[in-house]
A and B are shown apart, each in its own frame.
Chain A
Amino acid sequence: MYVLSAILILTALGLLLGLSLGIAAKYLKVESDPLVERIEALMPGSQCGQCGFPGCRPAAEALVSGSAPVTLCPPGGSALVEQLARLLGVDVDLSNAQDQEAMVARVSEETCTGCTRCFKVCPTDAIVGAPKQIHAVVADACIGCKKCVAVCPTECLQMHPIEVTLRNWRWPKPLAA
């Protein structure tokens, strides 16, 4: 008798709770997923494609669906990883994270033919010049996407690390554990 009543009560309880959960899921549903927009806003937005997705929006969608790791975006660096981890509520070990060194393109003046191919592909208009004139890269606007390097017929565009000056010098991380 006791066993029976226990089974009955627990079954009833389960049914009731299940029903209320089902009702809650139906009526308190979140309409659209604002997470994708928020993540997209965090991303560099240069659509560089280094993550393997065709742009920042698809990458954000992949992040939300969980099919891409939060470390997918090299230009975003560890700052972006930290923000994404926070937003998505995942734990990520940043202790060994090492940002890749920021690079900018530079035109070698000896070999530039002024073919204008590079500034046609530059997504941020960071390359200035005119046909048959030597081109130059505005380092502040260059995002290091390397598209220009790929199209340059004379290999005069090369990636170089950003020059360290007193203004952008920063303390390195302490070596000790």
Chain B
Amino acid sequence: MKTSVISGPHVAAPRRVDQIMRQVIIALAPAVGFGVFLFGWPALYLLTVTVLSAMLFEAACLKLKGVAAAPSLRDGSAVLTGVLVAMTLPPWAPWWIGVSGSAIAIILGKQVYGGLGQNLFNPAMLARVALLISFPIEMTTWVNVTPLFTGPGLAESFALTFSGLPIPDAMTGATTLGMVKTGFSQNQILPQALGDYSGILAMIGWERGSLGETSGILLAVGGIALLRKGIIQWHAPVSLLATVALLSSIFHLWDSGHYLSPWVHLNSGALILVAFFIATDYVTSPNTPLGQLIFGTGCGLLIFVIRSWGGYPEGTGFAILLMNAVTPLIDHYIRPRIYGRYRNGKPLDISSS
């Protein structure tokens, strides 16, 4: 007996899913734009091919599922995933890295779980980690800063991205974290292991690194804009960054020869991107403020542990995936206190007062 009785509320908030996705993409735009400027046309090609393939895979999966693809594509989640995958890739990576990344993110990371809102792991981080393990060479070939119009032209860039033109060795180097890791393995200690590191340039993003991760300041601006708009909550980013900063401060003070300073930690790798845009992913992070605090703290802890003692120079991807895996557990145990009840669900006892 299904009837068309309509329940209240009869008004609705103006913010919809597609608007949220659009706002997040806009918040990412400065960092992405800067990345394209920093690394030239190959970066733009990679970005384009990643985003387009992400949309294509989304459409194909929905077709297989037998659902109309257009409404789901319009919500912008596939585009956002594509952008995030591209941002974590080395800027001059070949096209098939981008396409594989999209395929992993959309198909394995999202659609096999049942689509939007169902996945356990963050699709972009899943793609990043899977690619890093599968294609270690391509995924760690970091090109030097070659701003637009100073590097290869349109045609040469096209060849770099699409037809396997090798990148000259002279144009590549290591990221800050990679360089430090290598230095430690050669028994160097810190100020030397950092080489010609500049804290200011690192903050602006004028350094080797993934397409959209280098500029901490632009990412932070985007993240704070999202916070102000109320699209993301402060709990996860703040706890994540605070944990990394606190731990690195303690260890840096204890042994400044073997532990990076908090400043280097905050401005290296994907930390700011992860804090504001990945740890706040609605689907894969906990539902409650306290849960998000735990999630952020856990991510920060794992990031610091992997960066300091792990085999990989950068640990954000692994940290996020590990914490994604415990999110259901956090959500199961951390629940808000219900009005008139204690946290354990028992009604308040007023007989004593």
Number of A-B pairs whose CB atoms are under 8 Å? Answer: 11
Provide the main secondary structure of the chain A interface.
Answer: loop
**Residue of B at shortest CB range from A169?**
B5
Q: Are A173 and B5 in contact (CB under 8 A)?
A: no
In Å, the complex CA distance between A173 and B7 comes to: 10
In Å, the complex CA distance between A171 and B4 comes to: 10
The size bracket of the interface on A is under 10
How many whole Å from B115's CB to the nearest CB in chain A?
12
Question: Using a CB-CB cutoff of 8 Å, which residues 156-177 of chain A contact chain B?
Answer: 171-175
Q: Are B1 and A101 in contact (CB under 8 A)?
A: yes
Collect the chain A residues with CB atoms within 8 Å of residue B5's CB.
171-172
B187 in contact (CB, < 8 A): no
In Å, the complex CA distance between A173 and B4 comes to: 10
B2 in contact (CB, < 8 A): yes
In Å, the complex CA distance between A172 and B6 comes to: 9
Collect the chain A residues with CB atoms within 8 Å of residue B3's CB.
172
**Residue of B at shortest CB range from A174?**
B7
In Å, the complex CA distance between A101 and B1 comes to: 8
Collect the chain B residues with CB atoms within 8 Å of residue A101's CB.
1
**Residue of B at shortest CB range from A99?**
B1
Q: Are A175 and B4 in contact (CB under 8 A)?
A: yes
6 contacts between A and B (CB under 8 A): A101-B1, A171-B7, A172-B1, A172-B2, A172-B3, A175-B2
Collect the chain A residues with CB atoms within 8 Å of residue B7's CB.
171, 174
Mask for B1-29, Cβ within 8 A of A = 1, else 0?
11111010000000000000000000000
Collect the chain B residues with CB atoms within 8 Å of residue A173's CB.
2
How many whole Å from B7's CB to the nearest CB in chain A?
7
Collect the chain A residues with CB atoms within 8 Å of residue B4's CB.
175
How many whole Å from B332's CB to the nearest CB in chain A?
18
**Residue of B at shortest CB range from A161?**
B1
In Å, the complex CA distance between A175 and B4 comes to: 8
Collect the chain B residues with CB atoms within 8 Å of residue A175's CB.
2, 4
Collect the chain B residues with CB atoms within 8 Å of residue A174's CB.
7
Most buried by A among B1, B2, B3, B7: B1
Collect the chain B residues with CB atoms within 8 Å of residue A172's CB.
1-3, 5
In Å, the complex CA distance between A171 and B7 comes to: 9
How many whole Å from B329's CB to the nearest CB in chain A?
21
How many whole Å from B128's CB to the nearest CB in chain A?
32
How many whole Å from A31's CB to the nearest CB in chain B?
35
**Residue of A at shortest CB range from B3?**
A172
In Å, the complex CA distance between A175 and B5 comes to: 10
In Å, the complex CA distance between A101 and B2 comes to: 12
How many whole Å from B257's CB to the nearest CB in chain A?
46
Mask for B100-119, Cβ within 8 A of A = 1, else 0?
00000000000000000000
How many whole Å from A53's CB to the nearest CB in chain B?
28
Mask for A31-73, Cβ within 8 A of B = 1, else 0?
0000000000000000000000000000000000000000000
Mask for B282-310, Cβ within 8 A of A = 1, else 0?
00000000000000000000000000000
In Å, the complex CA distance between A175 and B7 comes to: 11
**Residue of B at shortest CB range from A101?**
B1
Question: Using a CB-CB cutoff of 8 Å, which residues 100-117 of chain A contact chain B?
Answer: 101
How many whole Å from A74's CB to the nearest CB in chain B?
16
How many whole Å from B9's CB to the nearest CB in chain A?
13
Collect the chain A residues with CB atoms within 8 Å of residue B2's CB.
172-173, 175
In Å, the complex CA distance between A174 and B2 comes to: 8
| Known contacts A171-B7, A172-B5, A174-B7; 8 further A-B pairs (Cβ under 8 A) | A101-B1, A171-B5, A172-B1, A172-B2, A172-B3, A173-B2, A175-B2, A175-B4
